[in-house]
Structure 1
Amino acid sequence: MLRPLLLSLAALACLAAPPRTLRVDYGHTGDATSERFGVDRVVLEPLPWPGDPAKAVDTSNLGKYCFEVIDKATGKLLYSRGFASIYGEWETTDEAKTLGRSFSESLRFPQPEAPVRIQVKKRDAKNAFQTLWTFEVDPKDPLIERTPAPAAGNLIALQKAGDPADKVDFLILGDGYTAAERGKFEQQARKVMELLFQQTPFKEHRKDFNVWALCPESKESGISRPSTGVHKRTPLGTTYDAFGSERYVLTFDNRAWRDIAAQAPYEFVEILVNAETYGGGGIHNLYSTASAGNSTIGYLFVHEFGHHFAGLADEYYTSDVAVTNSPSRPEPWEPNATADPKHPKWSSLLTAGVPLPTPWKKDEFEAHSHAYQKERRAIRAANRPESEMDALFAREKVFETKLLGTDAHSGKVGAFEGANYEAKGYFRSQEDCLMFTRDEVGFCAACRAAIEKVIRQYAK
């Protein structure tokens, strides 16, 4: 009787093994008024799916888009995730009004056992998801790409807190680091990890994270900065000047970074770029970026990671940006901005007795900030040393900390007008926040609640 029992246990162990990760790379093409999709390739990634199978369905209600994986035979929902995309931002730029472009994107999910139907949805004007694209994937299709990409260096476990299925798996990738600079990358990766876990609520949930690092070798040091004539071919393809914004760092080479990231367990990705010039970016459930050598890395990295991790909106509104909002001011899907100050989405967090909307020193802040932005643009236009920009940031931080920290409702939760790149019509939950300024105030109440919700979605 012992042998059959052992065979049964072995069979159960086999059944319990996590599935591999399947990835669909596709093209997303269009302009400001239309969009369409097309499958590029289907890839079987080399590692098991890192997520918790009990939390396969997304409950966050985040993202401009979402996708669903549905069993073709039974109609059962197997997996879903909300996300944002480079295309989703680009379609709101002025360029999209006159030019069509195509962007590479990916959907990742646990390898199914049988054919599935995949639906990609997008929010309509009322924030309801509507299906844009439906296609089918057969996991037994012989044309699925099954050969792993060339190795991109040794995987570094910066923090291993447990099994990937039980933890948030966070991968830090390096771009623009030569073989001789691998040590520099690891040092900077460890630094930003510690900076993240200094911030509430990440600090209180540190044990819920695995943190991995991977740095493919670059033939030359640094990344592209086209506005200054610097062009480099790096493994991940990161570049400044995305959408014409000098400080916006993105990679448009989705295939390249996905193949490299597939060599690690991951749910969230940070790309550290080997540069000192201020710059970064963050897109929900895609990746975030940050210039590792900048003096403001403690703010920059965590701010951009907030976009990526929890879909947080920018709360500032006096800086130049390439994207545009609808003049009708629809309710944003992001959890930390609202168009309804009387009934904000963070109503359960409001400070008793605080008026809605909540008055603050808005005029004084704006007058100072507009002068500061003018000086900032002049520094960049003249390509002056980064030390001058650092000094400007430091002066601004002193002013904002005092102004926003000594107001009548400082530290209270209300609805403060000015958010989501707009001076009028959008509101944030607190007067100051890490998504609003570079002050050391940390995340506001709405941001903290959103971050904790995402952590619960991925960690046991």
Structure 2
Amino acid sequence: MIRYLMIILLFALSGIVTAHDNFQKTFQDKTLRLDFTLAGNDTTTEIFIEQQRKLDDWAGSRVNLVDDRNYGNFRYQLFDHQTGQLIFSRGFGSLFQEWQSTPEARTMKRSYYQVALMPFPKNKVDFVVEKRTWDGVYEQLLKLEIDPNDYFIVSEKAADYPVEIIRNSGKPANKVDLVFLPEGYTKDEMDKFKDDIKRLTDYLFTIPPYDQHRDDFNFYAVLVPSVESGTDFPGEGVYKNTAFNSSFYTFDTPRYLTSRDLKSIHDAAAAVPYDQIYVLVNSPTYGGGGFYNYLNLTSVDNERSPQVFVHEFGHGFAGLADEYYTSGVAFDEFYNLKVEPWEPNITTRVAFGGKWESMIDAETPRPTPRIVKYKDKVGLFEGGGYNEKGIYSPMMDCRMKTNEATGFCPVCSAAIEETIRLYCE
């Protein structure tokens, strides 16, 4: 038995070494940042290229380059230009796609800034961006040939903001590198910013499965001061001069806290190696926002800020869906009930077999009634993804449903574990 396990381990290590060798052959140990805007209305989506930049060390895995989970309403891919081989891919979410589901999108057009990060190629590649349609299939929005020797690829030093390493667990290539940015903190409030990082991340590490993965995370703080404390509240006529132009009242929803200024955010984050960005907003008002491989934000001084911090990171980091269905949102028909959602923790039952079906006990009914008997059971509970009917979630409560939940359900925990592995191998 021991010999058999050793053989399996040797094969696994061999695969990792081979993948690392492939990275060395295909990519430089640098980052290619490609900025573009998504623009259109409720029925149209266009892409406009803004810039390409060469940044310092690639922070991501050298092994897990192609993410075949197909998470995200969008994805970008790199193909070797000569052979057509897929060499890198990432899914992502977007504030633009959410806006397309609002009533305003039926009457006007808007554009939203996006940033794509990928290892810097050694040879010519084709950069492809695809959008998931209402019917659940990908359609191509852009195909762009990129020559790594193109002198229009900007290569310049990052902004010289002070940086503090909050947690150093090892080399960026084998860790989740999370950079924190201060929004609405003045120069005199940077100690508060660092204290807020410690308080919120200390809470994160009390929640399973993060409590078992302290050593899989690096935390950085980039100390970018704002002229004024706080953030914007357009519905109340309050506007503040801040570093990253965050705002409550996103899509006219008072507690929805976001920022569209992705350029400034990524320009500041470039001071360190990073996989994920968390913007901490210096406000006592309840709110936040999280978008898969796009951005995480939360206010810091509300009594529920620690819970919101963890919830929003569930969106941005692990691609988890909201499981609540009674709170008001700005979206119209966010999910097509005839298509299986890409998120791992909700289902329309169109293709449920590939999700958490194996976690449900044989004696648990499907659908599962929301009664005390099944309070701590994994099941198929109707309600989730902003819909009372037609969408199902794994448990009666979870951190992706309420702030009162003690933590994540087993399904969400498994998705978080998988995402951590993808970054750390």
2:203 aligns with: 195
Matched, 1:455 2:420: yes
Distance of 1:85 and 1:28 partners within structure 2: 9
Instruction: Tell me, yes or no, if the aligned pair for 2:335 and 2:385 is still in contact at 8 Å.
Output: no
Instruction: Tell me, yes or no, if the aligned pair for 2:28 and 2:122 is still in contact at 8 Å.
Output: no
Name the CA shift for 1:144/1:296 in 2 (closer, same or farther; >3 Å). Answer: same
How much does 1:342 deviate?
Answer: 9.4
Matched, 1:357 2:322: no
Which stretch shifts more, 119-128 or 30-39?
119-128
Distance of 1:180 and 1:352 partners within structure 2: 59
1:256 aligns with: 264
Distance of 1:149 and 1:110 partners within structure 2: 17
Instruction: Tell me, yes or no, if the aligned pair for 1:175 and 1:215 is still in contact at 8 Å.
Output: no
The residue type paired with residue 216 of structure 2 is D
2:391 aligns with: 426
Distance of 1:89 and 1:149 partners within structure 2: 31
Matched, 1:86 2:95: yes
SS at match of 1:25: strand
Q: 2:121 aligns with which of 112, 119, 123?
A: 112
The residue type paired with residue 442 of structure 1 is G
1:331-350 paired onto structure 2 within 5 Å: 331-340=340-349, 343=352, 345-350=355-360
Distance of 1:111 and 1:342 partners within structure 2: 36
Distance of 2:367 and 2:301 partners within structure 1: 39
Name the CA shift for 1:190/1:144 in 2 (closer, same or farther; >3 Å). Answer: same
SS at match of 1:19: strand
Matched, 1:443 2:408: yes
The residue type paired with residue 52 of structure 2 is V
Distance of 1:50 and 1:216 partners within structure 2: 21
1:339-418 paired onto structure 2 within 5 Å: 339-340=348-349, 343=352, 345-361=355-371, 407-418=372-383
How much does 1:60 deviate?
Answer: 2.7
Distance of 1:250 and 1:427 partners within structure 2: 27
Name the CA shift for 1:328/1:254 in 2 (closer, same or farther; >3 Å). Answer: closer
Instruction: Tell me, yes or no, if the aligned pair for 2:38 and 2:47 is still in contact at 8 Å.
Output: yes
1:384 aligns with: none
2:76 aligns with: 67
Distance of 1:240 and 1:323 partners within structure 2: 16
SS at match of 1:263: coil
How much does 1:150 deviate?
Answer: 2.5
Q: 1:132 aligns with which of 134, 138, 141?
A: 141
How much does 1:71 deviate?
Answer: 1.6
The residue type paired with residue 306 of structure 2 is G
Distance of 1:328 and 1:436 partners within structure 2: 20
SS at match of 1:53: coil
Name the CA shift for 1:228/1:191 in 2 (closer, same or farther; >3 Å). Answer: same
SS at match of 1:236: coil
1:142 aligns with: 151
How much does 1:429 deviate?
Answer: 0.2
Distance of 1:59 and 1:202 partners within structure 2: 23
Aligned-residue Cα RMSD (Å) equals 1.8
Instruction: Tell me, yes or no, if the aligned pair for 2:340 and 2:352 is still in contact at 8 Å.
Output: no
Q: 2:33 aligns with which of 23, 41, 55?
A: 23
SS at match of 2:374: coil
Distance of 2:31 and 2:145 partners within structure 1: 17
**4+ runs deviating over 3 angstroms:** 15-18, 341-344
1:285 aligns with: 293
Residues 173-196 of structure 1: CA distance to partner in whole angstroms, max 9, x if unpaired? 111100100000000011111111
SS at match of 1:242: coil
2:9 aligns with: none
SS at match of 1:234: coil
Instruction: Tell me, yes or no, if the aligned pair for 1:62 and 1:333 is still in contact at 8 Å.
Output: yes
1:243 aligns with: 251
Distance of 1:92 and 1:108 partners within structure 2: 26
Q: 1:220 aligns with which of 216, 219, 228?
A: 228
Q: 1:38 aligns with which of 48, 57, 64?
A: 48
How much does 1:233 deviate?
Answer: 2.3
How much does 1:239 deviate?
Answer: 1.0
Instruction: Tell me, yes or no, if the aligned pair for 1:177 and 1:215 is still in contact at 8 Å.
Output: no
1:323 aligns with: 331
2:110 aligns with: 101
How much does 1:339 deviate?
Answer: 0.8
Name the CA shift for 1:326/1:438 in 2 (closer, same or farther; >3 Å). Answer: closer
Name the CA shift for 1:328/1:192 in 2 (closer, same or farther; >3 Å). Answer: closer
The residue type paired with residue 399 of structure 2 is L
How much does 1:125 deviate?
Answer: 4.0
The TM-score with structure 1 as length reference comes to 0.84
Unaligned 5+ runs, structure 2: 1-20
SS at match of 1:151: coil
Identity of aligned residues (%): 38
The residue type paired with residue 293 of structure 1 is D
SS at match of 1:203: helix
Distance of 1:424 and 1:442 partners within structure 2: 24
SS at match of 2:49: strand
Distance of 1:359 and 1:53 partners within structure 2: 45
SS at match of 1:439: coil
For the pair shown, which has the larger CA radius of gyration, 1 or 2?
A: 1
How much does 1:351 deviate?
Answer: 2.7
Q: 2:219 aligns with which of 203, 208, 211?
A: 211
How much does 1:215 deviate?
Answer: 2.5
Unaligned 5+ runs, structure 1: 1-11, 362-406
